[in-house]
Structure 1
Amino acid sequence: MTTTALLQGFMQNNAPLIRLHPRDNVLIARRPIALGETLAGMGLRARAQVPAGHKITARAIAEGEAVLKYDTVIGFAARALEAGEYLHTHNIRHEERDGFAYEFGTDLKPVALLPAHERATFLGIVRADGRVATRNYIGLIASVNCSSTVIHKVAEWFTPERLAAYPNVDGVVAFAQTSGCGMSSPSEHFDVLRRTLAGYARHPNLGGVVVVGLGCERNQVPELMASQGLDESRQLQSLVMQQTGGTRATIAAGIAAVQAMLPAANDIQRVPVPASHLKIGLECGGSDGFSGISANPALGAAMDILVAHGGTAILSETPEIHGVEHLLTRRAVSEAVGRKLLARLDWWKRYTAGHNGQFNGVVGPGNQAGGLANIVEKSLGSAMKAGTTPLRAVYEYAEPITETGFVFMDSPGYDPVATTGQIASGANLICFTTGRGSMFGSKPAPTLKLASNTPMFERLSEDMDINCGLVIDGKLGIEQMGRQIFEHILRAASGEATCSEKLGLGDHEFVPWHLGIVS
């Protein structure tokens, strides 16, 4: 039985506890459970207060016995537990799994691609080379931290009043960063930075780009452009402060360069294009115990629809599939694809060795407060964002994504870094699930935020686009919620402003991944 089918069945009765799989020995509190409360129909009496979204034992569990959620091991009982006990970090033991026998392609589910004439459409911006944009910005990119203030000053000059004559331009945005020098070069960090900057420079959502450097940094602008195949043109210019005449002169030159680009950038129109042009970055932040029950599987259902329409779903945050990677290798289209995913996880094991990080079991305070005990439980929900279709390819951070369907891009779990990589890889829209509440936005690709529960959605209504808490409330099934998400994606891709866009977010969320030393 699929996850979706299980959820559909167990959500309908609106009982105080949610059973996710018949073999589970834990239940999830749909609402706060009081000490001593008799749970009708469950044959249980609560032995402690249990917050909403947290776990309660469905039966007695012996010390050392596996704790099962979605019929998946999320840890082991740290002591003998009685039925009705509150189950969390204090009595679940996390253990790393060694010697696991991975399977490849055993859970492949064929995708029934819709005929071209049946595919959904959105109003996109078709570039001269055929790529499709969902937004139309002019971007300023700093090659090094030393030019970051300059590009912010240039962007700030272009107020809404000064852009009023260019209604088809969504804005002028500065992509400032804190690296580019004081780093090892050549190095993996150096390659990742250049790949990320180039991914933004060629992103279809930018109708014009100015790259600005200082002049003495390791990440030299001419070498950056040449190494990444970026050729200067009317809509792609570069400036070097030490050659241009310093701070004031570079600001003036940057303003002039953008002004020269604005007429051509404005000369666009939105036209109907197939949903196959959508590349959706999948992100979760501030996850809670409901994220893996409502928002994440519902987003996964939406991605199954997108893939059937020929689009691309990009799962990332490698530390947040740790412990459930075997579920993804079973969906790999080949052993080579599955092995590439495992190779990235092996890299992370070496990278995080000796550190008290998420990959090694410890989730953040917000995750714990929301009901998640460890990384495996968090990963179990996180991986659901990708739906059920085959894993077609695995990419490194900010590597251009050329495959369609469900793919994976390696990244940290830190939201701004992961999303920056997805956009650099070509994502033209981000779907971001949250249980605790995230105030995130991104440019040049907009972010849609999906709330896992109704109380948070109502409390943070200015920041949340979609209320997946309707699933927890028993008002919508997963498939219905997924369809609503897909329809909202089409509207956002067509230009409908997201909540984060209305709030002006996205100017400071460009955070390339720092991998190496600072010297």
Structure 2
Amino acid sequence: MNALLLKIDPRDTVAIITEASRKGDVVDGITLLSDIPQGHKVALRDMQKGDEVIRYGVVLGYLLEGVKKGAWINENSLELPLQPSLDALSFKEPEEVVLPQPKRTTFEGYANPNGGYAGTRNILAITTTVQCVSGVVDQLVKRIQAELLPQYPNVDGVVAINHAYGCGVAINAPDAVIPIRSIRNTIKNPNFGGEIMVVGLGCEKLTVDKLLSDEENTPENVIILQDYPGYGSMMDALLAMAEA
């Protein structure tokens, strides 16, 4: 692949090279004076010590030494500019933004039964409470794809919402709210059609009640694997819930 130099703003004194290149290569008419890694800066003209290095129209810093056109400019080449104090900054009212009228105001979607956002896919999502059930759920997904989805052409697919959380964690720690909230919100993805299917183990710290409301936490929506005597009965129950 041939390298290019990307210059974004007319004021720029350096450009970004798109591919790693060797000393002596000629890129966009500039002969490189050293090997230059991909994504790094190349001097577009001769510059003196103290000159501004400008990229995207912004001053990145000032040259510690003079350079020739085609030189590699990196963090070791620059003295960073001083950050202005807040008192030295000026502010102005933002200009009014007038957005163009859209050419289309509709899309092919469906309203979720819970009144949430509209979905554009019809996907069965299986959410896990703990990583310990991920292996069973992964096998379940394969069974659903092979045995159930062919019977329901209106269903676009099935996905396992696996995660490395839930077992042996400090579930009441202040920041535990972050992964719990993330999983809870994923369950409500509009492409899941308002349907809930949660698979737990039975001894994890992240219990189902932390993910679902009392109205959602029902036998129609939740399976706890330790309630079943073996893999076969677990899979039968999971497949039955998935089909329902």
Deviations 1:103-144 (A, max 9, x none): 7775556142527xx434332233232621121111111111
Query: Which of structures 1 and 2 has the bigger CA Rg?
Result: 2
Choose the corresponding residue for 2:169, options 171, 183, 193: 183
TM-score, normalised with respect to structure 1: 0.39
Cα separation, partners in 2 of 1:18 and 1:147, compared to 1, 3 Å = closer
Choose the corresponding residue for 1:216, options 203, 225, 240: 203
Distance 2:238 2:80 in 1: 54
Shift of 1:33: 7.6
Structure 2 residue 234 is the aligned partner of structure 1 residue 250: yes
CA contact (8 A) 1:27 1:56 kept: yes
Match of 1:28 in 2: 16
- SS across alignment from 2:223: strand
Cα separation, partners in 2 of 1:105 and 1:211, compared to 1, 3 Å = farther
Distance 2:210 2:166 in 1: 12
Cα separation, partners in 2 of 1:152 and 1:39, compared to 1, 3 Å = closer
Match of 1:19 in 2: 7
Shift of 1:72: 2.1
- SS across alignment from 1:258: helix
TM-score, normalised with respect to structure 2: 0.77
- SS across alignment from 2:124: strand
Distance 1:248 1:94 in 2: 67
Name the aligned partner's letter for residue 241 of structure 1: L
CA contact (8 A) 1:180 1:193 kept: no
Match of 1:134 in 2: 120
Match of 1:239 in 2: 223
Q: 1:355-504 counterparts in 2 under 5 A?
A: none
Shift of 1:203: 1.0
Name the aligned partner's letter for residue 151 of structure 2: A
Distance 2:160 2:235 in 1: 12
Shift of 1:233: 6.6
Tell me how many residue pairs correspond in the alignment.
236
- SS across alignment from 1:125: coil
Q: 1:232-311 counterparts in 2 under 5 A?
A: 232=217, 237-245=221-229, 247-260=231-244
CA contact (8 A) 1:33 1:52 kept: no
Q: Which runs of 5+ in 1 are unaligned?
A: 1-15, 261-519
Name the aligned partner's letter for residue 35 of structure 1: G
- Greater relative contact order structure (CA < 8 Å, 6+ sep): 1
Cα separation, partners in 2 of 1:178 and 1:124, compared to 1, 3 Å = same
Distance 1:136 1:168 in 2: 7
CA contact (8 A) 1:142 1:176 kept: yes
By percentage of residues, which structure has more helix? Answer: 1
Match of 2:33 in 1: 47
Distance 1:94 1:179 in 2: 44
Distance 1:68 1:88 in 2: 12
Shift of 1:166: 0.6
Shift of 1:177: 1.2
Name the aligned partner's letter for residue 20 of structure 1: I
Shift of 1:17: 3.8
Shift of 1:188: 4.0
Name the aligned partner's letter for residue 171 of structure 2: S
